[in-house]
C-alpha cells in the first residue's frame, strides 16, 4: 500500500522522517479538483451533522444530570 511505501522510505529510530530528496522522488497522486470539491461538500455535511449531534448530547447530559438525582431521591417517578 502507499502507506507502507512511504514508511519504507522513512529513516530514523526515534522519529522516522523522509528526506526532502526522497520525498521529491516519490510519485504523489493528486485527485481531480472536482473530486476534491465533491469530497469537501460531503465532509462539510458530515462535520455539520457531528456538531449538531454534539450539541444534542450536551443538552441530554444536562437533562440526565438534572433528572437522575431527583429520580434517585424519589422526587420524580420513572
| φ and ψ of 11, to 5 deg | -125, 150
Q: Give the chain's mean pLDDT.
A: 91
Please identify which residue in the block is written with the cell numbers 472536482.
34
Q: What is the pLDDT of residues 37-47, one digit of tens each?
A: 999 999 999 99
36 vs 22: CA distance, rounded Å? 26
Instruction: Give the pLDDT means over successive 10-residue stretches in the chain (78 positions).
Output: 83 85 87 97 98 99 96 85
Contact 70, 76 (CB under 8 A): yes
Question: So what's the pLDDT on residue 64?
Answer: 97
Domain ranges of the chain: 1-29, 31-78
CA-based nearest residue to 2, from 35, 30, 21: 30
Q: Is the pTM of this model over 0.85?
A: no
Amino acid at each position: 500500500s502507499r502507506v507502507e511505501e512511504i514508511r519504507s522510505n522513512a529513516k530514523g529510530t526515534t522519529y522516522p522522517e523522509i528526506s526532502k530528496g526522497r520525498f521529491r522522488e516519490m510519485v504523489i497522486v493528486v485527485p481531480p479538483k472536482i473530486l476534491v470539491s465533491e469530497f469537501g461538500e460531503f465532509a462539510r455535511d458530515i462535520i455539520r451533522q457531528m456538531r449538531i449531534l454534539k450539541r444534542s448530547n450536551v443538552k441530554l447530559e444536562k437533562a440526565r444530570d438534572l433528572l437522575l438525582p431527583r429520580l434517585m431521591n424519589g422526587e420524580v417517578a420513572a
